[in-house]
């Protein structure tokens, strides 16, 4: 096997640029997904049917359908409907955020429900509103327990971002495919991409382990 390091060096600036896009899209998706996921989670736990049912449908749809299908729907359907034309970066962020929100909602729900119900009852007995109780008592405790699954979700998002190559978003896998197409080589582009993904996820694992110990 003639392994060519020269084409890796040639494409390295583009691969690094794609890596930055991968990180950026994943960070925005986890931020938007966290905010939307909290709302969906609270809606799913609500006693009001008009909040609970839409939230449940949302979670079941995005967890029960392939991310690739969601990406294509957003890229070719939702984004052109709003912007008037397709935009791979916008579609990537929107699709990954919507998908992440469904999983984040379940993480929030599990974390919130893991807190003893007696604390909520005690807060009510002191005259606190449900909003105050959730904001000042329940969520601060629940978030500590949610750090490991939050981290796992972020790692999953980084790996899932590779699917955006199918809509030509200029992330890491897009440039890996470009290298393969130009030189008709497989090992060089995909082993390089695999190494970069491994470095990203391994570093994130170490960072999350440090945060868990600190918290």
For the chain, what are the domain ranges? 5-214
- pLDDT confidence bin for 210, thresholds 50/70/90: confident
Q: Give CA torsion, residues 161, 202, 156, 138, to 10 deg.
A: -130
The hierarchical CATH code for the domain 5-214 is 1.10.3720.10
Q: Which residues contact 145 (CB under 8 A, 6 or more apart)?
A: 111, 114
Helix (H) or strand (E) segment spanning residue 15? helix 5-45
What pLDDT is stored for residue 83 in this prediction? 93
Instruction: Tell me the C-alpha distance between 191 and 46, whole Å.
Output: 47
**pLDDT averaged over every residue in the chain:** 93
pLDDT above 90 (res 168): yes
Q: Which of 150, 147, 131 shows the shortest CA–CA distance to 33?
A: 150
pTM over 0.85: yes
Q: Give CA torsion, residues 150, 153, 158, 162, to 10 deg.
A: -170
Lowest mean pLDDT among 27-31, 75-79, 117-121: 117-121
């Amino acid at each position: 096997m003639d392994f060519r390091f020269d084409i890796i060096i040639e494409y390295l600036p583009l691969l690094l640029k794609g890596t930055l896009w991968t990180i950026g899209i994943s960070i925005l998706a986890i931020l938007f997904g966290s905010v939307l996921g909290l709302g969906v989670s609270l809606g799913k736990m609500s006693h009001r049917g008009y909040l609970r049912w839409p939230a449940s449908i949302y979670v079941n749809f995005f967890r029960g359908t392939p991310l690739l299908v969601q990406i294509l729907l957003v890229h070719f359907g939702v984004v052109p409907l709003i912007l008037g034309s397709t935009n791979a970066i916008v579609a990537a962020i929107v699709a990954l955020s919507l998908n992440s929100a469904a999983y984040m909602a379940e993480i929030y729900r599990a974390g919130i429900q893991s807190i003893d119900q007696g604390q909520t009852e005690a807060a009510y007995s002191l005259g606190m509103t449900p909003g105050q109780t959730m904001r000042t008592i329940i969520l601060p405790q629940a978030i500590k327990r949610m750090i490991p699954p939050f981290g796992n979700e972020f790692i999953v998002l980084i790996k899932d971002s590779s699917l955006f190559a199918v809509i030509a978003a200029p992330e890491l896998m897009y440039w890996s495919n470009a290298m393969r197409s130009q030189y008709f080589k497989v090992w060089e582009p995909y082993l390089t991409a695999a190494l970069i993904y491994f470095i990203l996820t391994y570093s994130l694992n170490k960072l999350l382990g440090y945060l868990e110990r600190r918290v």
